[in-house]
Amino acid sequence: MKRRRVFGATIWDLVEAFYEAKREFHEVYVLYETRVLAHAEERSVDRRRLRLDATEVSKLLDFTRLGGLRNGPLHRAKWISHSLFRSRGRTHKFDRHISEIFHELSILREEQYKVSTFAEDYRRENELEEYESLLDEVHEDFPRRVNQLHELFRKAQLSLEGVLRAHSRDPVYLRSLCLFGERTLRDAYPEGVTSHLWRVFARGPIEAFMLAARSFAQNGFKAEAAEALGRAVAASQHPPPPGQPTSHEAIQALGQEAAALKARIEARTPAELVGARFFDEAVAPLTGDDSMRGLDFGSQDETSELEEALH
């Protein structure tokens, strides 16, 4: 699918790019782990003592796929992150994580290229010392870098969720969650978009869908608003996960409000909904627009360029 060009980056652009990159890396990670464990089982050795030849090592990772990840969704995520968070020598924790991921993945791809290309040259030319030295290097670097990337993606996701909590009233983010959330987030969480919404919104899916419905309705999108409220009502039937700062009773009460709002929306024309104020009684005001430029996400998560260099 051809992607639209990003002019004024939105938070949803970042969400899409990051979770696509995370999904693609997870597939690489699982395949790598499966192959390593298969080799260890075949030889009946602990994976930490596993020793493979250059041909076997070169097949643990897919050079082309690593390149597609680096130059595709990961590059988009890095570019959008820079455009949103870097200004006057300061950046955000998420931006640091995504830059580290890009750097580490680039190195891993280069290591994979070396073992798949240079090692065979060394062996063919009987330069066995160089051959063994290269194998020693990748046997140490591959597991370390693959697992480091796995951990960096985990940290980046936690940081991004913090950003989203700080800007959970952005209309583009809210509407996009309803329209594209399941497709974008289904592989990133145990319960797909539902898990994501509980991590970002204190009252989980019902809060997110009611806020999205308000945005849809006040812009004349009657059908989308009604659908969002229907999802809010359905979400109210499920108790919150342990540790959430709300109760099932509070969620059920919101579900009743959502059902009443849905009935009021269905009784009006799209034109009557534009700018309607009756939502304000039940749903908190929204902030933000289609551009994220200039937003302040909180200095506690920022780092200076000097701090980045010392990290």
pLDDT at 116: 76
pLDDT tens for the chain, residues 1 to 311: 445 544 578 999 999 999 999 999 999 999 999 999 998 899 898 888 888 777 888 888 998 999 999 999 999 999 999 988 887 667 789 999 999 999 999 999 988 888 777 666 666 666 667 766 666 777 788 889 999 999 999 999 999 999 999 989 999 999 999 999 999 998 898 888 999 999 999 999 999 999 999 999 989 999 999 999 999 999 999 999 998 889 999 999 999 999 999 999 999 999 988 877 766 655 655 554 433 334 443 333 443 333 343 33
pLDDT at 307: 36
Q: What is the Cα–Cα distance from 41 to 20, expressed in whole angstroms?
A: 32
Sign, CA dihedral 208-210-213-214, equals: negative
pLDDT at 281: 59
User: What one-character DSSP code corresponds to residue 116?
Assistant: H
pLDDT at 238: 94
Nearest to 255 by CA among 191, 297, 194, 203: 203
Cα dihedral 66→77→30→100 (10° resolution): 80
* Whether the Cβ atoms of residue 77 and residue 14 lie closer than 8 Å to each other: yes
* Whether the Cβ atoms of residue 64 and residue 126 lie closer than 8 Å to each other: no
The pTM assigned to this predicted structure is: 0.83
pLDDT at 142: 86
Could you tell me which residues are beta bridge partners of residue 90? 87, 304
pLDDT at 309: 38
Alpha helices in the chain (DSSP H): 11-43, 54-58, 63-71, 73-85, 93-124, 128-166, 171-185, 193-200, 204-218, 222-235, 248-266, 270-273, 305-310
DSSP strand pairing (302-304 vs 90-92): antiparallel
pLDDT at 310: 34
Q: What is the Cα–Cα distance from 260 to 278, expressed in whole angstroms?
A: 11
Q: What is the Cα–Cα distance from 104 to 167, expressed in whole angstroms?
A: 29
Nearest to 11 by CA among 288, 300, 305: 288
Burial class (CB in 10 A: 0-12, 13-18, 19+), 136: exposed
Burial class (CB in 10 A: 0-12, 13-18, 19+), 33: middle
Q: Which two tokens stand for residue 160?
A: 């991004």
Cα dihedral 139→145→150→152 (10° resolution): 160
pLDDT at 282: 56
3-state helix, strand, coil in the chain (%, to 5): 70, 0, 25
